[in-house]
A and B are shown apart, each in its own frame.
Chain A
Amino acid sequence: MTNENDILLLKGNEAIAHAAIRCGCDGYFGYPITPQSEVLETLAELKPWETTGMVVVQAESEVASINMLYGGGGTGKKVMTSSSSPGVALMQEGIAYMAGAEVPGLIVNVQRGGPGLGTIQPSQSDYNQATRGGGNGDYNIIVLAPNSVQEMADFVDLSFELAFKYRIPAMILSDGVIGQMMEKVVLPPYKPRRTEEEIGRDCPWASNGIGLKKRGSQCITSLELDPAIMEKRNLHLQEKYRQIQENEVRYQTSQTEDAEYLIVAFGSAARISQKAIEIARARGEKVGLFRPITLWPFPQKEIREYAERVKGILVVEINAGQMVYDVKYCVEGKIPVRQFGRLGGIVPDPDEILNALDELKKQS
């Protein structure tokens, strides 16, 4: 049962803030940047420190935000930050430290166009940065790509769940379209913040003093100067990543059963591609949509299977061609793969996608 207060008309960014409070988040640390500032603004307005006890801090920079996340996550608390592309670029060192020290936490990236200061308009050009680690060293983080305001809300709790299950940073890789658009959203039910006792039980690795005299002191660190031990730690990370790839792939399909051509798209590009396949279907063309929800782990097995069934794949993404390399890796040259994207903050429209689909058909 949901009550009236649980269904609201919200921007994607606002939905993130509401969901954070409801799913028992302990702390938010962030720095303003368009197009995601509503996350911090909404939290400041809702004053969760007076209700759930959630801490909200406007940090002095994204460098500070991510290190607050590292510190807070290292004590076993559920902590999050949000930013947009230039700010997330600044966070990469901290994300690498979190990955190395196995600290859970949630980073929301409401992407805008780049490179550099770029534009405040939407983009998906941080795909490579998000899915390849972004900072130094061999690591991955879990990356979830919402395509609606509802998923912005739903993925907050999911991200925390995965982040703590695997002791890994999780990212919601959104974009300016999803962050700024308003939709009806059913907010998640309230979940209390974990008590000190629960944190002690669930996070025995955390640095918070609980039970120290029994277990001995411990440190959250990514440092190890003994190469033999460091190689083991890296292998442990790789094994963890393998398990995540095996168990946590998420995706959605639309009209793929009889599809001769497949569009692969995530986030807002998948919303637009959905419209494109509806138009194509109305014309009698057998086109389906495959939407990766986890960008890392990427749905490799599934794409491989489609490569055996369809005549060609069109990858639609709001960048110059990033996810297309993941798709090509799975397809192994068996069928033609084309990419279509717009740059500079321009969002593609369904007709452009259909034109690109026609080009693909000529190729195959």
Chain B
Amino acid sequence: MTNKEIISSENLVYAKPELMNDNTMHYCPGCSHGVVHKLVAEVIAEMEMTEKTIGISPVGCAVFAYKYIDIDWQEAAHGRAPALATACKRLWPDRLVFTYQGDGDLACIGTGETIHALNRGENITMIFINNAIYGMTGGQMAPTTLIGQKTATCPYGRDVHLHGYPLKITEIAAMLDGTAYVTRQSVQNVAAIKKAKKAIRHAFENSMQGKGSNLIEIVSTCSSGWKLSPEKANKWMEENMFAYYPMGDLKDVK
């Protein structure tokens, strides 16, 4: 086969999503953010919602999500993305509205906005990147940091007597009557990526059908914050994070 034949469209098995642009990403090698960005971009295009989507980016590593996915965005204050999304969806009911937030953003400083938007049953989706650390500010303890895990602000390991317990906000979300679909996913291998994409599609469709609010937690890696190679970070995640944050749907209202 010649190169020309190889790159012909019939042989295409993988392509850059049409909504992802060529801006150089600031994410570290091995970070889960890039993969999740790609899935979000693919689902929006597949649903043909490009001109009818409003994404809300957080304060955290994903603050610049708007530089990479070519849809309309709003960049929220730290933790307040669900409040912006609430207004956008209420004012534009035919728009696909989602937030994209880290654990510090969604489960710490913005816990109030998260719980209340979910509990009101706002027809939005929250994509929640749980990497058990504050990535952007340089690896401090997050509400989701595991017991014993070392970070810049718990250098001797998270101690429940000093720091309390890792917060399972997704379990809380599943208890709220306003939520339609609550799930926990990951993106460390092809099988997981396929499942995560399905979950995003399901959540986005729910929100367009007025079924209520949707939360997709994606248990993620932060190689830089964890001070591990991308490969070791994936392994650490599977061995440590999955035990505390088990995979799968917590709630799926038909």
Contacts and interface: CB of A to CB of B under 8 A. Distances in A.
B163 to A, nearest CB: 24
Interface of B: 50-54, 56-57, 63, 66, 69-77, 80, 83-88, 90-92, 95, 112-113, 116
24 contacts: A27-B87, A55-B90, A57-B86, A57-B90, A59-B116, A60-B112, A60-B113, A64-B113, A67-B76, A67-B77, A68-B87, A70-B80, A70-B84, A70-B87, A71-B88, A72-B88, A77-B87, A94-B77, A207-B72, A209-B51, A209-B72, A210-B51, A217-B72, A219-B74
Contacts of B87: 27, 29, 57, 67-72, 75, 77, 79
Given A27-B87, A216-B70, A222-B75, 13 more contacts: A27-B90, A55-B90, A59-B116, A64-B80, A67-B113, A71-B76, A75-B87, A77-B87, A207-B54, A211-B51, A212-B70, A218-B72, A223-B63
Nearest to A218: B72
Given A55-B90, A209-B54, A71 B73 contact: no
Given A60-B112, A60-B113, A219 B73 contact: yes
Most buried by B among A55, A59, A67, A207: A67
Q: How large is the interface on A (under 10, 10 to 19, 20 to 34, 35 or more residues)?
A: 35 or more
Contacts of B66: 217, 219, 221
Interface in A121-145: none
Contact of B84 (A67, A77, A222): A67
A26 interface: yes
B79 to A, nearest CB: 9
A65 B74 CA distance: 16
A68 B97 CA distance: 13
Interface string A40-81: 000000000000000101011101110111111011010100
A200 B50 CA distance: 16
B71 A209 contact: yes
B83 A68 contact: yes
B74 A220 contact: yes
A27 B80 CA distance: 18
A208 interface: yes
Nearest to A68: B87
B53 A209 contact: yes
A93 interface: yes
A57 B91 CA distance: 11
A32 to B, nearest CB: 15
A222 B74 CA distance: 10
A208 B71 CA distance: 9
Nearest to B96: A209
A64 B110 CA distance: 10
B53 to A, nearest CB: 6
A208 B54 contact: yes
A298 interface: no
A283 interface: no
A93 B50 CA distance: 31
Contacts of B85: 71
Interface in A182-231: 207-213, 216-223
B149 to A, nearest CB: 29
A81 to B, nearest CB: 10
A63 B80 contact: yes
Given A64-B112, A221-B75, A75 B91 contact: yes
Top 7 nearest A-B pairs (CB, nearest first) are A71-B84, A67-B83, A221-B75, A72-B87, A67-B80, A219-B66, A68-B87
Given A61-B112, A64-B113, A212 B84 contact: no
Contacts of B90: 27, 55, 57, 72
A71 B74 contact: yes
Contacts of B84: 67-68, 70-71, 74
Contacts of A61: 112
Given A27-B91, A60-B112, A71-B85, A217 B73 contact: yes
A241 interface: no
B4 to A, nearest CB: 30
Contacts of B51: 209-213
Contact of A223 (B75, B91, B112, B116): B75
Contacts of B95: 208-209
A67 to B, nearest CB: 4
A26 B52 CA distance: 19
Contacts of B91: 26-27, 55, 72, 75, 77, 79
